[in-house]
Amino acid sequence: NEYATLTSSASMVLVDFGATWCPPCKKMEPVIQQLKVKMDKKVQISYVDGGLHTTLMDQQKVEALPTFILYKSGKEVWRKQGIVTEEEFIQVINRFQ
């Protein structure tokens, strides 16, 4: 399926489940943009609109937005709901390198 292809399209993929109407998701946008710049070589960041992809949210057991899921070689290795600092993302990505 498409999601499986997405999560294994790079050695490390961070999936950002968010929505346009979600205030904490909006707060995370600049953090994600910074992360894309800083960690470009290490991780591919993909956005999934939870407002549109409700079935996918159910399948992935995403109960709140935003939720961030890190995949390494197609396997989920880390997940967190809500606000995540850039420092925490960087620590987690480096830990699973």
Indicate which residue of 22, 56, 90, 92 is catalytic: 22
* 30 included as an active-site residue: no
Which of these is catalytic: 15, 25, 35, 69?
A: 25
Burial status of residue 80 (CB atoms within 10 A of its CB: 0-12, 13-18, 19 or more):
middle
Residue 61 known to be catalytic: no
Residues with a known catalytic role? 22, 25
